[in-house]
A and B are shown apart, each in its own frame.
Chain A
């Protein structure tokens, strides 16, 4: 099986085998090189091509369907190879006497192409100005090496760029011929995983392909293993320091991308030979092409029929879609830039391509890490499963989710990665189907599991209650969290909201939220709202009733429970508690820092923004709050009480110029304090007034307005009537309707 292409050769369309075309191209190229310095080079080549075209035409006339490799070889034999010309040519010239003065025949004079003489910019082989290529010709080294050196200089402070510009300006341009028997660094398209950089390097240094591949994929491999190892243990354990994976890994990625952009791909047979460092002559070219063909035959036989092709496509689906997409984009980009006709545009196209495949690689890696993370997470959640899952089916689905949805793709990706690294072609046709099928089952179990768990959270229930407290003797209350001997669970991979501790038959939840509000009277009050979900209202209610939460008090210090217990048999159904502490106007409150540390969902609402307050989590009215600071409740909400010493500390650092500002600040603070006292008096007066039975609603309305100036607009009068009455009664029910009034 051979591919036949049509070429336009000397104005005629000639069907030719692709391999034969390669040979022909290399041959014409070698002639061109041989006659490089000949005066009538183009004419000579043209004549020879014309004759070749004529010979092809004859052979096609005889009835062959296309030009084969054999035809090309016959033609080449009769035309002669450049190395056959050598002796004849040099003699001819001397006979013709003086017509060709300076004939620098690269084949006869030196082995290294143009003799070292002047430093030029090479217009034949350039990416920007041909500076690197010219220098390479001067030093007789691979231009790619020079380009890389310049890139290093460029990224190492930009001096490379200046040097390049300078050389660009200074050096004269000249088309140079690179006929080098040295090896050149190419990307090897025959054995490639991403772009053939690693295998090109391997060929250049004559080492096994897997060595550079392993080096490039080292951060990947280390990352996978270390994350896997650390996930197996609950504690943080990383056998490799972070920088290996962090900067080192990133650098390797960048290096790969840069090499990709800089190193040319060995496309033609002669470039492939250059890559292997063999001398470019027609025999070796023939050998290479034969190798190619044999390799292709072997591959074709290996793949066998259509089915295995499909299996291969399937198993490499991931890589191909990503690759195709980026290649497509890159080719579009480079096509667009080629239209502009500039080499610079081409370079940008290459960079685009590199960038997109770089992204694709990172994406694939991220997916793998995420999968491993999820596996580790679900393994550590497993002790909890009896609190989540109900009945056989949910357990079954949980297991199949873990195995099919998470393990299968992780193993699939790992297999794929390893196969790409060791360079194996797609193997069994069933492998891809099996992985795909199992993963589909995994998806189904995920959906079913989520649906059935979601059903268990369908209904909700909540209840309100009050914790009885004794009023503190001072004007200040301190909130702390009670000490407990609970084992605190915290793992790197696993931090579930609200879960505090876990042992064999119970878990402790600390879904507890603290809120501070203004007390309607002069008493500190603490109330709570318990809530829970369940599959129906009865179970939700039962779950909610099972929550035991309270607080203890030691004079002015209130100890909140650290959590509440779920016993074996009961399920986690989003149980939680909201604690509201009502602080009377003019009294202080201080919240110990262990509250925000130990309660899961500590959020603070000072009551200043009295918008929609939800008893459950939904309200995220966080305000900046400082622990271990005294706050005072004012009619306008909580204010921070600043200690005088602290204030001085703040100021002592500052310069004289700010003294006036300090004075102003002190004054305003004084005024503020006076206003507190005034307001406090007013509030007390108001309370006295309220204690008396009074009738006029208008009067009450005004007083309430003073009590809470932040209620704007005409509040419904009925509620203002309700308010004082409830305080008089002091019943729990009344207080909670007060809560709803505030909201």
Chain B
């Protein structure tokens, strides 16, 4: 069993939830999103972020608007839709349940269970 693999899978599981929670707080540019996650010590590759955002947008959870930039091509700023908000609160509820469960289960020093 590869420890790194397990670790990254654990991280990835919550990644989407984290991204959505950042976007919920307000309009965001993907690059800034990466920076904020980095600051919270959660690393993500930009190359991974773009397809994820596109998928979320195609699922109508997100929408975006173009903003002119003076250092390059126009930027895409993402905001959450109503549907996205509902989706997010679903995820938030699941996360809380999961966190509680993990909290309870980790007390008697059992090995962490993989999510999903």
Q: Which residues of A contact B (CB under 8 A)?
A: 10-12, 31, 35, 38-40, 43-44, 47-48, 50-51, 53-58, 61, 78-82, 84-85, 87-89, 91-92, 94-96, 99-100
Contacts and interface: CB of A to CB of B under 8 A. Distances in A.
B116 A94 contact: yes
Contacts of A94: 116
Given A10-B73, A99-B55, A91 B47 contact: no
B75 interface: yes
A97 to B, nearest CB: 10
A51 B55 contact: no
Contact of B71 (A11, A57, A80, A99): A57
B72 A85 contact: no
12 contacts: A35-B51, A47-B50, A50-B75, A51-B50, A54-B73, A54-B75, A79-B47, A80-B45, A87-B5, A92-B51, A95-B116, A96-B59
A54 B69 contact: yes
B46 A91 contact: no
B106 interface: no
Interface string B61-95: 00000000101111110000000000000000000
Interface string B43-63: 001111011111111110000
Contact of B46 (A10, A12, A79, A96): A79
Contacts of B72: 10, 12, 50, 53-58
A506 to B, nearest CB: 94
Contacts of A51: 30-31, 46, 50
Give the interface centre of B50, B55, B58 by most chain A CB atoms within 10 Å. B50
Given A40-B58, A51-B30, A94-B116, A61 B71 contact: yes
A47 B54 contact: yes
A40 B74 CA distance: 19
Contacts of B52: 92
B99 to A, nearest CB: 17
A231 B92 CA distance: 95
Given A12-B72, A40-B54, A48 B13 contact: no
Residue of A48, A92, A94 contacting most chain B CB atoms (<10 Å): A92
B12 interface: yes
Contacts of B54: 40, 43-44, 47
A169 B72 CA distance: 48
Name the residue among A39, A78, A88, A91 with the largest chain B CB count within 10 angstroms: A88
Nearest to A56: B72
B37 to A, nearest CB: 13
Contacts of B48: 80, 84-85, 88-89, 92
Given A50-B72, A91-B12, A99 B59 contact: yes
Nearest to A92: B52
B2 to A, nearest CB: 10
Given A51-B50, A58-B72, 4 more contacts: A58-B71, A87-B9, A89-B48, A92-B16
A100 B55 CA distance: 9
Contacts of A100: 55
Contact of B12 (A57, A58, A87): A87
Contacts of B55: 39-40, 92, 96, 99-100
Contacts of A57: 71-72
CB-based closest 10 A-B pairs: A80-B45, A54-B72, A80-B47, A57-B72, A79-B47, A40-B54, A47-B50, A91-B12, A10-B73, A50-B73
A95 B61 CA distance: 14
B25 interface: no
A467 to B, nearest CB: 105
Interface centre among B54, B59, B72, B75 (most CB of A within 10 A): B72
Q: With a 10 A CB-CB cut-off, give which of A35, A43, A56, A84 has the most chain B CB atoms.
A: A43
A80 B13 contact: no
Contacts, number: 102
Nearest to A96: B55
Nearest to B64: A47
B47 A85 contact: yes
A692 to B, nearest CB: 122
A103 to B, nearest CB: 11
Contacts of A35: 51
B73 A11 contact: yes
Most buried by A among B15, B16, B51, B59: B51
B41 interface: no
B29 to A, nearest CB: 10
A92 B20 CA distance: 13
B8 interface: yes
B30 to A, nearest CB: 7
B15 to A, nearest CB: 8
B104 to A, nearest CB: 23
The DSSP consensus for interface residues of chain B is helix
B110 to A, nearest CB: 23
Given A10-B72, A11-B73, A88-B8, A44 B59 contact: no
A95 B16 contact: yes
Contact of B76 (A12, A39, A47, A80): A47
B59 A53 contact: no
Nearest to A81: B47
B73 A31 contact: no
A80 B51 contact: no
A85 B56 CA distance: 17
A91 B5 CA distance: 12
B10 to A, nearest CB: 10
Nearest to B72: A54
Contacts of A43: 54
Contacts of A99: 55, 58-59
Contacts of B69: 54
B84 to A, nearest CB: 13
Nearest to A43: B54
Given A10-B72, A57-B71, A79 B45 contact: yes
A88 B12 CA distance: 6
B31 A91 contact: no
A54 B72 CA distance: 4
B106 to A, nearest CB: 22
A55 B13 CA distance: 29
Nearest to A54: B72
Contacts of B51: 35, 38, 40, 44, 85, 89, 92
B65 to A, nearest CB: 14
A30 to B, nearest CB: 10
B5 to A, nearest CB: 7
Contacts of B13: 91, 95
Contacts of A87: 5, 8-9, 12
A53 B47 contact: no
A48 B8 contact: no
B13 to A, nearest CB: 7
Nearest to A49: B73
Nearest to A61: B71
A245 to B, nearest CB: 59
A144 to B, nearest CB: 32
A61 B8 CA distance: 36
Nearest to A48: B50
A53 B73 contact: yes
B21 to A, nearest CB: 15
Contacts of A91: 9, 12-13
Interface in B1-34: 5, 8-9, 12-13, 15-16, 30-31
Interface in B88-116: 116
Contacts of B12: 87-88, 91-92
Interface centre among B31, B45, B47, by most A CB within 10 Å? Answer: B47
Nearest to A84: B45
A79 B47 CA distance: 4
Contacts of B56: 96
